[in-house]
A and B are shown apart, each in its own frame.
Chain A
Amino acid sequence: MTRPPKKPPRHAKKDAKSAKMLISAAAFSATFGGWIAMANGNGSSSLFYQSPPPLVSPLELDSQASQQHGLEGKRSDAETTFPAQPPIPLSMTHSSR
């Protein structure tokens, strides 16, 4: 859901140095949403609002994935968050020894 834009924060100045500092915050904003200053390459910068990504729990994501694949039911949180560990091989094939 996109919230209406707020007033630009005071510290978002248009000089290139400040823009560089704020660019480093871009990754943060991409995750949580907020105002981002982007350098334009000509010394100027522009300001835009990055919407936060939808807040969906891993369990809900898994449920969505299951529905897409025609599967039913939900798997445990642990299963969806971490890939399964490979089993320990009971034996190894190798050249004659």
Chain B
Amino acid sequence: MQRLTFRAMGCHMLAILDSDEPANMEQLQQVQGWFEEWEQCLSRFRENSELSRLNRRAGRQVQLSDVLWEVLQTACDAAQWSGGLVAPTMLDALEAAGYDRSFEALDPSNAPERPRQRQFGSNEWRDIEWYADSHSVCLPPGLRLDLGGIAKGWAADEAARRMGKVAPTMIDAGGDIAVTGPMSDGKGWPVGVADPASPADTCDPRPLELLMLNGGGVATSGRDYRRWQFKGKWQHHIIDPRTGLPAETDVLAATVLAPTACEAEVGAKAALILGSRDGLDWLEARQDMAGLLVLEDGRVLRSRRLKGYLWSELEAHSG
């Protein structure tokens, strides 16, 4: 088993290839280069990224690279199937809440005030004009996009898809995890669910649950880490498109399993925004998703289908 760790998209990245073949390490090292390429395309924090250039040219038709074209489509599809709960049009709202620079550059104790640049509209992603023949789009005037979590989930899926041709692979993009299938021995990949109540930097973090992934992805959305104070009030980065403000929810962190890491990321965010009761119902209604919600009061709610992924359950049935 070979590992590669690096930093990209403001997060810790981990790529694992289930192969001891030394020649495969060279291929594994390509993953870092792919992430750098995708970040240069998809980051809102880089002035010269393709996304930033697109945001500056709202109101005009702009031709996109294959990557931005695909990720933007994925983001708008996600907005559609999540009922608008996870939309790529929250950038103004995020900046107005104080998240106007990368989290590493943000002072969590005192984020700068930044007035909202335009009137908030939750369904503006529907107004993007698409030109399939020329791979170009036209954003409504003034609209700016943020592909944040979608970009990370998509990158995990895409890197796993590419490396999966070499050997069974796991890609962990800052907590959004994609696997290509079972490991070489036919078993699932053991993946822990971090407990938001335990410190992130502990040497031996005990997982809240131990999952076994035989394919697809898992992601966690939480307001336990990326948060800051703004005008004396704690804010976080998950915007509720219905209000344009950081979501007011009793869910501290939501973990979702789905056919892809990207869908898991969207599912986790939607469940967190909806809150414990509606969020769990929302998850139960989706046949291809399972998950757990950690509430502010410490309770943990699990969807019925989560059992199919828990090591403890799988071990009990195999014994």
Could you tell me which A residues sit within 8 Å of B by CB distance? 83-84, 86-97
Contacts and interface: CB of A to CB of B under 8 A. Distances in A.
A93 B255 contact: yes
A97 B312 CA distance: 27
A90 B190 CA distance: 6
A31 B148 CA distance: 63
B61 to A, nearest CB: 33
A17 B176 CA distance: 67
Contacts, number: 86
Nearest to A88: B190
Given A86-B210, A87-B210, A96 B174 contact: yes
Interface string B194-223: 101000100001010011000000111111
7 contacts: A83-B315, A83-B319, A86-B311, A91-B191, A93-B194, A95-B221, A96-B226
A75 to B, nearest CB: 9
Given A84-B319, A89-B191, A90-B16, A97 B175 contact: yes
Nearest to B14: A91
Interface string B28-52: 0000000000000000000000000
A88 B288 CA distance: 26
B222 A94 contact: yes
Given A92-B191, A93-B211, A96-B152, 17 more contacts: A86-B210, A86-B311, A86-B312, A86-B315, A87-B311, A88-B190, A89-B210, A91-B177, A91-B191, A92-B175, A92-B192, A92-B194, A92-B205, A94-B200, A95-B222, A96-B11, A97-B11
A87 B210 CA distance: 9
Contact of A95 (B14, B16, B253): B253
Given A84-B319, A88-B190, A95 B11 contact: no
A91 B172 contact: yes
B12 interface: yes
B193 interface: yes
Contacts of A83: 315, 319
Given A84-B315, A86-B311, A87-B210, A93 B149 contact: no
A91 B11 CA distance: 14
B170 A90 contact: yes
Interface in B1-44: 10-12, 14, 16
Contact of A97 (B149, B170, B191, B225): B225
B291 to A, nearest CB: 10
Contacts of A90: 16, 170, 189-191
Contacts of A91: 14, 16, 170, 172, 177, 189, 191-192
A94 to B, nearest CB: 4
Contacts of A96: 10-11, 149, 152, 174-176, 225-226, 237
B113 interface: no
A12 B237 CA distance: 74
Contact of B174 (A87, A88, A89, A97): A97
Interface string B159-194: 000000000001010111100000000000111111
A95 B319 CA distance: 33
Contacts of B253: 94-95
Contacts of B311: 86-87
**Most A CB within 10 A of own CB, among B11, B189, B315, B319:** B319
B218 A93 contact: yes
A95 B175 contact: yes
Interface string B134-154: 000000000000000100100
